[in-house]
Amino acid sequence: MALIGPALAAAALGCHSATPAGAPVAAAPGNATLSRLVAEAARPAGARAALPDLSLSRVQRAADSARARLSELATIRAETLSHQEQLSLELLKWAATRTTWEPELYWYSFEILPAISPLRSVAASLAAAPIGTAAERSAYLELLKNVGGVIDGTREKMVGQAARQIVVPREQIGNSLPYLKSFAVPAASSPFAPSAQRLGSVPEADRAGFAARAAGVIDSVLVAKMSALIRYAETELAPKAPNAVGIGQYPAGKEAYRILVKRETTLEVTPEEVHDIGLRAVAEINARMQRVRDSLGFKGTKAEFHEQLRRDPQFYVKTPAEVGRRLMSYIERIEPRMPEYFSVSPKSPYGVRRLDPALEPSMTYGYYNWGATKDSSGYYNFNGSDLDRRSLLVAGPIAFHELVPGHHFQINLARENESLPSFRRFTSHAGYTEGWGEYSSSVVAAEMGMYRDAYEIYGRLVFDAFFAVRLVVDTGMNYYGWSRPRAWPT
């Protein structure tokens, strides 16, 4: 169901076949403007350690710079460029265009929600920051102190949103509080603290002192700031929070949603068109589900079949460890056949692990996270809660989507392809990334014979429906003003 332009799709995969391995992608003679803009867009060393600036002024400055870049990019004649250079040109234009939209979208993102909270990336930045030398430890402590600015920025944005009658729906505030509270804990269990394993890289003579200084920042500064943010959410925001969902309920929210649809799909499509695409896809998937049920000789309704699946013990396990083993069993199934279908594979190792329990109430399945350093593993972080109600009917589709040949494969092929400009190796486009995940899990895995019986095929269709329904529900709730009960009828 991915909607994305061909240039962005080619660039996002990494285009290994278009450029010999190790050969740098440089602008042709005379394209000095492109060379400079590609260099400026390069991901600087250590960029992962930079903390986010959540201020509107930063967004406005970035938009002004993006408009200037678009003017420069418009002077470059695409027909004089190689294929790879044309891809870089299109990606630079798209990145700049997206950035010019950000001031209009600024007030419609809610940083207390676990899925978009900056706190997770802050913790990842701290985990990636080296601490082996005295200078590195000093820089780490300064970075740790600056986390307080991110927390303050989150709260300040919430205050600004409330002043504009833009408040997170009440249910989402409740779902977000356990996540926020997981960061308001003492250093001994704080996600911001250096792990015992990382402290092993610090000389023994300096280890205790460094750990104590880090703990001091966390306990005396960060816990207090996180606690203040939580109190504001509980005592100030929650009483004002609407029961309704969707950004269309807010001032100018429907106009913002139209921009979001273009941003996420990379196409000139409208919410109405996306809604219709979703309705057609749901109808097609339902017809395919019916054929599978017929093949099993099932004579009842779709709802009755799904109730039968919900009661079937083969799709349930008792522990998170068993969830991990079930997911990896599908990866072990597909791995031996990967060389038949892919001439290049990423070097980065991969695996699965349980999601932070504080995140689980707000996430249906989980998420993929690539390693913080070049040689570290990528993991699918799965939801290990409520296992008596969490069917593993879709475990295979999830494993193929998240790891191989899905997110881990695509993201790391691009990251490891040093022939590409840095900005292309580390840029992500949701329309492509999720589209590749679904293509690899549905079309590719099916062609490889990974779905071996009617129930596994049906599980794949359930996962198809999960994505198709989201097109309908997302537009329904955010644009057409649907209530949650209408979107999820009982």
Per residue in 39-98, pLDDT (tens digit) is: 998 855 444 447 999 999 999 999 999 999 999 999 999 999 999 999 999 999 999 999
Confidence of residue 29 (pLDDT cuts 50, 70, 90): very low
Confidence of residue 453 (pLDDT cuts 50, 70, 90): very high
Structure tokens at 31: 């394209």
Q: Rounded CA gap, 486 and 470, in Å?
A: 13
Residue 298, C-beta contacts closer than 8 angstroms, at least 6 positions apart: 305, 308
Residues 138 and 164 in one domain: yes
Q: Which carries the bigger pLDDT value, residue 373 or residue 325?
A: 325
Structure tokens at 228: 């203040």
CA 397 distance to own-chain centroid: 18
**pLDDT value of residue 373:** 60
- Asked if pLDDT for residue 158 goes beyond 50, the answer is yes
Structure tokens at 278: 């979703």
Confidence of residue 11 (pLDDT cuts 50, 70, 90): very low
CA torsion angle for 185, 369, 260, 272 (degrees, to 10)? Answer: -120
**pLDDT value of residue 237:** 96
Q: Rounded CA gap, 179 and 360, in Å?
A: 9
Q: What is the identity of the amino acid at 72?
A: E
CB 260 within 8 A of CB 490: no
Structure tokens at 242: 């609407």
CB 155 within 8 A of CB 234: no
Q: Rounded CA gap, 460 and 441, in Å?
A: 8
Q: Please give the tally of structural domains in the chain.
A: 3
Q: Rounded CA gap, 325 and 331, in Å?
A: 10
Give per-residue burial for 247-257: e unless 16+ CB within 10 Å, then b: bbbbeebbebb
Confidence of residue 17 (pLDDT cuts 50, 70, 90): very low
CA proximity to 13, closest of 312, 473, 411: 411
Q: Among residues 65, 89, 108, which one ends one of the domains?
A: 108
Domain interval for residue 103 = 30-41+55-108
Q: Which carries the bigger pLDDT value, residue 222 or residue 32?
A: 222
- The rounded percent of the chain whose pLDDT value lies above 70 is 91
Residue 363, C-beta contacts closer than 8 angstroms, at least 6 positions apart: 114, 115, 355, 383
Residue 296, C-beta contacts closer than 8 angstroms, at least 6 positions apart: 454
**pLDDT value of residue 374:** 58
Cα four-point dihedral sign 97, 475, 159, 233: negative
Residues 224 and 101 in one domain: no
Residues 229 and 94 in one domain: no
**pLDDT value of residue 42:** 82
Residues 87 and 142 in one domain: no
Per residue in 184-220, pLDDT (tens digit) is: 999 999 999 999 999 999 999 999 999 999 999 999 9
**pLDDT value of residue 375:** 57
Per residue in 310-362, pLDDT (tens digit) is: 999 999 999 999 999 999 999 999 999 999 999 999 999 999 999 988 778 87
Residues 222 and 304 in one domain: no
3-state helix, strand, coil in the chain (%, to 5): 65, 5, 35
Q: Among residues 108, 130, 148, which one ends one of the domains?
A: 108
CA 269 distance to own-chain centroid: 22
Q: Rounded CA gap, 127 and 192, in Å?
A: 8
Residues 84 and 228 in one domain: no
Residues 418 and 378 in one domain: yes
**pLDDT value of residue 362:** 74
Structure tokens at 160: 């600004």
**pLDDT value of residue 27:** 44
CB 198 within 8 A of CB 131: yes
Residues 230 and 306 in one domain: no
- Label residue 22 left, alpha or beta by phi (over 0 means left) and psi (-120 to 50 means alpha): left
**pLDDT value of residue 431:** 87
DSSP-assigned beta bridge partners for residue 352: 380
Do β-strands 350-354 and 366-369 pair in parallel, antiparallel, or remain unpaired? unpaired
Residues 409 and 293 in one domain: yes
Residues 278 and 195 in one domain: no
Alpha helices in 53-195 (DSSP H): 56-73, 83-105, 118-128, 134-163, 170-181
Asked if the structure places residue 24 within a domain, the reply is: no
**pLDDT value of residue 448:** 97
Backbone phi, psi, residue 382, to 5°: -95, 155
CB 281 within 8 A of CB 486: no
Residue range 268-286: mean pLDDT, rounded: 97
Backbone phi, psi, residue 478, to 5°: -85, -25
Q: Residue 230: helix, strand or coil by DSSP?
A: helix
Residues 193 and 231 in one domain: yes
Residues 77 and 149 in one domain: no
Whether residue 405 has a cis bond before it, omega within 30° of 0: yes
- Asked if pLDDT for residue 479 goes beyond 50, the answer is yes
Q: Among residues 64, 87, 108, which one ends one of the domains?
A: 108
Q: What is the identity of the amino acid at 406?
A: G
**pLDDT value of residue 361:** 80
Per residue in 100-139, pLDDT (tens digit) is: 999 999 999 999 998 889 998 899 889 889 999 999 999 9
Asked if the structure places residue 50 within a domain, the reply is: no
DSSP-assigned beta bridge partners for residue 366: 382
Residue range 281-300: mean pLDDT, rounded: 98
Asked if the structure places residue 46 within a domain, the reply is: no
Do β-strands 378-382 and 350-354 pair in parallel, antiparallel, or remain unpaired? parallel
Confidence of residue 28 (pLDDT cuts 50, 70, 90): very low
**pLDDT value of residue 102:** 98
Asked if the structure places residue 264 within a domain, the reply is: yes
CB 415 within 8 A of CB 428: no
- Asked if pLDDT for residue 171 goes beyond 70, the answer is yes
Q: Kindly report the average pLDDT of the chain as a whole number.
A: 90
* DSSP track, 212-229: HHHHHHIIIIIHHHHHHH
- Asked if pLDDT for residue 425 goes beyond 50, the answer is yes
**pLDDT value of residue 30:** 41
Asked if the structure places residue 267 within a domain, the reply is: yes
Using a 10 angstrom Cβ sphere, with 0-12 exposed, 13-18 middle and 19 or more buried, the burial of residue 443 is exposed
- The rounded percent of the chain whose pLDDT value lies above 90 is 82
**pLDDT value of residue 372:** 62
Cα four-point dihedral sign 272, 273, 278, 283: positive
Q: Rounded CA gap, 125 and 134, in Å?
A: 18
